[in-house]
Amino acid sequence: MKEIVLITGAGGMIARELAKKIENEYTVRFLTRKKKHDRDFEWDIQKGTIDESAFDQVSHIIHLAGANISEKRWTPERKKELISSRVDSAGLLLKTLKKKNIQLKSFISASGINYYGTVTTDKIYTENDPPGNDFLSEVVVLWEKAADDFKEQNLADRVVKIRTAVVLSKEDGALKKMGPTIQYGIGSALGSGKQYMPWIHIEDICSIYEAALKNPAMNEAYNAVSPQHTTNENLTKKIAEVMNKPLFMPNIPAFVLKLIFGELADALLEGSRASSQKIQDTGFQFKFPDLRKALEDLLILHRTK
């Protein structure tokens, strides 16, 4: 009998691709705001309601739910939503497991590479480094604390936190936003362009979740980031090269981004490197460690698939 995996954040690109990857070996269920398929189960985080039948015989939960960090300006209300969508949703899962007296084999939670703070530095961060002191790092610290509660309250044998970099995918995310601007000749780097931009191919991030699911030795936090580092400017240039498009627009000035996005602009204008050594030490091998090959796969090869 297949083990049951319950995935939150059903509408996200990682959830969709991950489900395809593991559904032959596991029975996959989704928690979603509106049921569309037989394997969907409804929940409402704000109301604190959930279809408890989703938890019947569940062995693993992969918690991917969370409002998009870069979708809207960070008003006080939006900040609360960014935290609540991650922390309160985990709390609702925990409460339900307690009520149904279920102990998971694993609770695997999304997390963010912004754990280390939004700052540009030459330092390469590892999982042993402390968190930063800005809003995004605060979000991630609370997010991870909510995940750790499952282990501390004996509701999961182990907890794995995946500190995710910018995910490159043809379906959604940064590449979908940057690609069209470059296609139409208006693409450019942000600010100085020298800020590092940790990244990972969609296939590799899904493979890391699969590894966390299958490898009982994996515990605690892992940086889900490609071993090859790049800057915002270099990423922009590489996309243009792969698309065979010229780049002639000047960098977008920092003050313009701050006028448009407010505090959110800091997440676009700052960035540091993070080490992938810990996940590689588990035996994990990246399929797309090279940026150009990752972009070619997403921008060229997929056109004919």
Average pLDDT over residues 123-145: 96
pLDDT band at 304 (very low <50, low <70, confident <90, very high): very low
pLDDT surpassing 60 at residue 301: no
Please state at what angle helix 135-152 crosses helix 76-100, rounded to 10 degrees.
10
68-119 tens-digit pLDDT: 998 889 999 999 999 999 999 999 999 999 999 999 999 999 999 999 998 8
pLDDT, position 305? 41
Please name the residues in contact with 253: beta carbons below 8 A apart, sequence gap of 6 or more.
Answer: 191
pLDDT surpassing 80 at residue 302: no
pLDDT, position 265? 84
pLDDT band at 171 (very low <50, low <70, confident <90, very high): confident
Report percent pLDDT > 90 for the chain.
75
pLDDT band at 42 (very low <50, low <70, confident <90, very high): very high
Average pLDDT over residues 199-224: 97
pLDDT, position 239? 93
281-293 tens-digit pLDDT: 999 999 999 999 9
More confident residue, 3 or 267: 3
4-232+261-304: which CATH topology?
Answer: Rossmann fold (3.40.50)
pLDDT band at 262 (very low <50, low <70, confident <90, very high): confident
